[in-house]
Amino acid sequence: MTDVAVIGFAQAPNVRRTDGTTNGVEMLVPVFQQVLGQTGLAKEQVGFWCSGSSDYLAGRAFSFVSAVDAIGAFPPVMESHVEMDGAWALYEAWVKILTGEASTALAYGFGKSSAGLLRRVLALQLDPYVVAPLWPDSVSIAALQARLGIEAGRWTEEQMAQVAVRSRSAAAGNPAAQLSGTVDVAELLSRPYIADPLRAHDCAPITDGAAAVVLAAGDVAREHCARPAWITGFEHRIDSGSLGARDLLAAPSAAAAGRAAGAGTVDTAELHSPFTHQEILLRGELGLGEQVTVNPSGGPLSGNPMFAAGLARIGSAAAEIMAGRAGRALGHATSGPALQQNLVCVMEAR
Amino acid sequence: MTAPLSAPLEISFDYTRSLGPVLAKFMTALADRRILGSRGSDGRVHVPPAEFDPVSFAPPAELIEVGPEGTVLTWSWTDHPVDGQPLDRPFAWALIRLDGADTGMLHAVDGGSAGQMRTGMRVRPRWAAQTSGQITDIECFEPATQPARQSAAEPAAAAAGQAVAAGQAVAGQVADGAADGAEPVTMIITPVRLGYQHTASTEESRYLRALQDGKIIGQRCPACQKVYVPPRGACPTDGVPTTTDVELPDHGIVTTFCVVNVPFQGQRVATPYVAASILLDGADIAFQHLILGCAPDEVRMGMRVRAVWRPPEDWGTTSENIDHFEPTGEPDAPYESYAHHL
């Protein structure tokens, strides 16, 4: 099988609100320039482009078509889009290279979450017959899962706060992070609930942002990157869309994707866990022991641009390898309510 | 730099959804104030019913009545409900396992305060005063220990909490599963309304502000030197923002056009009329506008046209300041002069 590696990663600053449009052009133009600059590739050398975004988030039809302007897509380019996080666009790009139709690809994701009321917009990813008409917001649904774990003794509010403390501390080294710095557990626990049992620090912030990852095959990768992050496993799985029918204290799709991709052998992991308790849950499902460094970037709790944050996890994990700080790393992405869908990409240095 | 223009944007759509055989029975029963679940091949009872058995993938063999009371499996408390949620005061979301069911159903519990909520507490449905075959027929759940509380007087609006009419169910032909004497429900209408703060790009904002002064501003791409009107956040050829302002005249030529004969919602001009690509003199990219002031069959490729502006007192930061374009009567441009713009 063709060897494929991540050879570049860039992201827009994670911020609470941008002045830009919801088609992402303003965020994407500099991100493309940065990631192509890293790799030394000209845009004409990119064989396939694939994006992840959502019209529900943008509040306009075909917002991803306007985003293509940021590529400079004339003369026409080979291009595709998924109405998913950019991590799934990266999966499509990886498959495209495996088929031999391209030797390089650029996947990107973007979202201006600040344009609407994010937790309400996300109600529309739920069953449209018996759930979405009640408009359950994403934070309240995550809180149902958090309480189950607290009452089952799987985690405590204090452990959840510790996740937030570690995340903000790690994010101090990430110039793109929205939230970073020193906070302490007692102080966090003194703050009010926003969706009992979740407090603000348990929830990823609302973030505008964009991210891009460049893939290349074999010698092209070696030519354009000193230490490529070679993909050794790339899998995604999905659990039932019915919230009440599945055990919310498990994420079988994460465990299955992790097993198939080889998650058990990594030294570093970037987890797409928009809520503190979900990082604890995912560590267990992916079999990540204490020796594994989790979310050295700060993870989504320090910045969660919708439709880009999952791709940014893979990019951040790859960046750890490319910089020589990790030997084998995984990037994880999730989609849907309460960790319904999960994707795992395992990469290594050679 | 002046901030880009932005304005609230509200979009809405009433989704009409066919229910299929399983959910049709579920919704029909709700209209009759009963709750149905499906028994799976493994014996588990799903509520709401599963349209296909999660184990065998076959349609459910039977639907059985469950509840009406149930047990809270987990809950979360919200102090600030958002538009459309079942209650407009603080309440709990909960997964509720109805008596006789094996799965939790997501709904609201009118629990008073977080301090009164408990996992394991018993709840019962509070039905809307008028039911129609929708999940919102259950206005919410309430603690089973409380005296029953009457539903709000305006059930539809209160249950859905929406300014637009709450969902209505539509009775249809399929009699299967109909409650005694009730019309079976086969379709539902679920309104979706979302609010955004919509923002024009920096470049579009310059264009729109100039229009307010009766000027047309294009911008030149610093890479390919083409003049775009409206200017763009990224030149589609080079992927960089257009930069240098170029003031353009309000006249140009029709490069290509079509005659619109099809009526559609929101149409402002009587059919037939002409929608055309218009290339302003000095611009490299055509934009679309209406050609009025002549019969549709007189419009030609290469025809010279000029803008007809609305009265200045009506001008705003909008493309609508130009009502339409009309023929100038000058000789047509030769095909070669605009062939590369097609």
pLDDT at B152: 56
Mean pLDDT of the region A40-49? 96
- Please report residues of B whose CB lies closer than 8 A to that of A20: 4, 199, 201, 233
Query: Mean pLDDT over all residues of chain A?
Result: 96
- What is the distance between the alpha carbons of residues A62 and A53, in angstroms, rounded to a whole number? 10
Residues in chain B, pLDDT under 70: 1, 149-182
pLDDT at B177: 43
B157 inside 8 A of chain A by CB: no
- List pLDDT tens digits, range A242-290: 999 999 999 999 999 999 999 999 999 999 999 999 999 999 999 999 9
- List pLDDT tens digits, range B162-200: 333 334 555 443 334 444 556 899 999 999 999 999 999
Does 3.40.50.2300 match the CATH number of domain A4-117+206-227?
no
pLDDT at B151: 63
Mean pLDDT of the region A218-235? 97
Interchain CB contacts (distance < 8 Å): A and B: 178
Nearest to A271, CA basis, from A295, A298, A287, A242: A295
The amino acid at residue A221 is A
Instruction: Answer yes or no: do A151 and B119 touch at CB < 8 A.
Output: yes
Q: A284 vs chain B: nearest CA distance in angstroms? A: 21
Q: Beta-carbon neighbour count of residue A218 at 10 Å?
A: 15
- Enter the ipTM: 0.94
Sort strands B91-98 and B70-78 into parallel, antiparallel or unpaired.
antiparallel
Mean pLDDT of the region A160-179? 97
Instruction: Answer yes or no: do B233 and A198 touch at CB < 8 A.
Output: no
The more confident residue out of B263 and A141 is A141
Query: Alpha carbon of B127 to those of A95, B34, B101, B152, B153: distances in Å?
Result: 51, 10, 19, 10, 12
Quick check: A50 and A213 in contact, CB under 8 A?
A: no
Q: For A152-294, where are the alpha helices, taking DSSP H only?
A: 157-170, 185-189, 218-224, 252-261, 276-285
Domain ranges of chain A: 4-117+206-227
Query: Alpha carbon of A247 to those of A76, A156, A180, A288, B56: distances in Å?
Result: 47, 19, 33, 21, 19
The helix (H) or strand (E) run that includes residue B337 is none
Instruction: Answer yes or no: do B237 and A198 touch at CB < 8 A.
Output: no
- Please report residues of A whose CB lies closer than 8 A to that of B46: 242, 245
Q: Which residues contact B290 (CB under 8 A, 6 or more apart)?
A: B269, B273, B274, B275, B276, B323, B324, B325
A45-54, A153-162, B22-31, B139-148: the lowest-pLDDT one:
B139-148
The amino acid at residue A7 is I
- List pLDDT tens digits, range A313-350: 999 999 999 999 999 999 999 999 999 999 999 999 99
- List pLDDT tens digits, range A101-137: 999 999 999 999 999 999 999 999 999 999 999 999 9
Q: Is A145 left (phi over 0), alpha (psi -120 to 50) or beta?
A: alpha
Backbone angles phi, psi at B76, to 5 degrees: -140, 150
Chain B residue nearest residue A113, CA to CA: B196
Instruction: Answer yes or no: do B236 and A141 touch at CB < 8 A.
Output: no
B114 inside 8 A of chain A by CB: yes
